């Protein structure tokens, strides 16, 4: 996809709902969904529109959700506060953007050497994560739901090759969340910015490298035009959950059936979003290599090892945090990672290693 054409495209509006009887109009709730993304950005921008449409449809038009892209009502980094303060009813973003509120929030989105997309959902709904998620966001008047996942992210786009840990020192690098803390421990100057801003910064030299999501979204934003080396694995974000935050008072006032509508609209979107990313990442990577000459490179083993040491240090710092809730979130995450990690070494890892063997199909 041509980056300039994408950024110039006018987004599709939220689905309109016509009420069967005018007498029902007084029961319609008109909600504003503010997102952290450009409208229709492949991946998260598309998912935000889908979420708005799903709530509208599943509620039978009793909740009519209109999507506002980043900058239309508030900047992308302002959507959390907009919902907390009641300027909008709900938002679509990622937990990695809210570390300034509490470092504990970051664990709900992605963790270096952490949970895969399926494991993240498992922690939330079968390992006690959702109760902690509710408790943390409740401090800010928000009811949170996971509503998608990008799957494994990439290590990033680099202007120059990375041959050792020394090559990372001093690099100006775009990333977010706990991955930015890991990058800082390796001597990188970690900077947070939007996806489109990352392109401009790479182009002008304000950045030396950066990561955003993965091949599908990254190709739409044109990073291959300004940085030729695309590195994997993205150990900083083995998955990255997308979330919907609903103003807690607004959610509490809903009748039970509409509470369930919002809940199921979010939770039911998780797997379709994740599997769409997985499919289109794979397709886009082929295009990046075959048509744009992108150099796909694996991070050197010593770099991955250094990142692992840094991640371990960060988790120890979280376990010693003064906020007891941050400690409980960290303990719960680590316990679940250890539980499913031990099982996956036999299950999914075993299957994937076997499938990678030399077979004829």
Please state the residue numbers annotated as binding site: 153, 174, 211-212, 237
C-alpha span between 301 and 124 (Å, rounded): 31
| HEC letters along 215-268 | HHHHHHCCHHHCCCEEEECCCCCCCCEEEEEEEHHHHHCCCHHHHHHHHHHHHC
Binding residues for substrate: 153, 174, 211, 237
Cβ of 346: how many Cβ atoms within 10 Å?
Answer: 9
Task: List the structure tokens of 124.
Answer: 């939330």
The residues, any chain, with a CB within 8 Å of residue 318's CB and separated by 6 or more, are 103, 104, 107, 326, 327, 330
Sign of the C-alpha dihedral computed for residues 136, 140, 143 and 149 taken in this order = negative
Inter-axis angle of helices 177-185 and 301-319, to 10 degrees?
110
Binding residues for Na(+): 212
C-alpha span between 359 and 154 (Å, rounded): 27
Buried b (16+ CB within 10 A) or exposed e, 2-29: ebeebeeeebeebbebeeeeeeeeeeeb
C-alpha span between 44 and 77 (Å, rounded): 14
Q: In 3D, which of 92, 66, 55, 58 has the Cα closest to residue 11? A: 66
Helix (H, G, I), strand (E, B) or coil at 74: coil
């Amino acid at each position: 996809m041509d980056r300039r054409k994408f950024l110039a495209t006018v987004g599709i509006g939220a689905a309109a709902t016509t009420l069967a009887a005018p007498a029902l109009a007084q029961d319609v709730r008109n909600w504003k969904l503010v997102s952290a993304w450009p409208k229709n950005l492949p991946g998260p921008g598309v998912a935000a529109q889908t979420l708005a449409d799903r709530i509208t449809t599943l509620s039978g038009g009793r909740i009519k959700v209109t999507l506002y892209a980043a900058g239309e009502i508030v900047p992308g980094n302002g959507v959390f506060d907009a919902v907390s303060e009641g300027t909008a009813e709900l938002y679509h973003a990622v937990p990695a953007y809210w570390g300034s509120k509490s470092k504990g929030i970051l664990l709900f989105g992605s963790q270096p050497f952490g949970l895969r997309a399926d494991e993240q959902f498992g922690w939330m709904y079968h390992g006690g994560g959702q109760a902690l998620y509710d408790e943390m966001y409740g401090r800010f008047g928000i009811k949170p739901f996971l509503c998608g996942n990008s799957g494994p992210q990439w290590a990033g786009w680099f202007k120059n090759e990375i041959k050792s840990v020394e090559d990372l020192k001093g690099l100006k690098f775009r990333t977010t969340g706990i991955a930015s803390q890991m990058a800082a421990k390796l001597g990188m100057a970690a900077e947070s910015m939007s996806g489109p801003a990352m392109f401009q910064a790479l182009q002008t030299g304000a950045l030396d490298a950066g990561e955003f999501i993965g091949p599908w979204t990254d190709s739409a934003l044109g990073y291959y035009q300004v940085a030729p080396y695309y590195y994997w694995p993205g150990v900083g974000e083995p998955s990255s959950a997308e979330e919907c935050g609903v103003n807690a008072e607004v959610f509490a006032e809903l009748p039970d059936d509409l509470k369930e509508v919002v809940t199921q609209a979010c939770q039911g979107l998780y797997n379709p979003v994740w599997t769409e990313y997985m499919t289109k990442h794979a397709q886009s990577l082929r295009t990046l290599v075959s048509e744009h000459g992108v150099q796909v490179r694996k991070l050197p083993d010593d770099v991955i090892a250094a990142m692992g040491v840094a991640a371990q240090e960060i988790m120890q710092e979280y376990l010693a945090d003064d906020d007891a809730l941050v400690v409980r979130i960290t303990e719960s995450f680590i316990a679940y990672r250890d539980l499913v990690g031990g099982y996956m070494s036999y299950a999914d890892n075993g299957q994937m290693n076997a499938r990678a063997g030399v077979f004829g199909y």
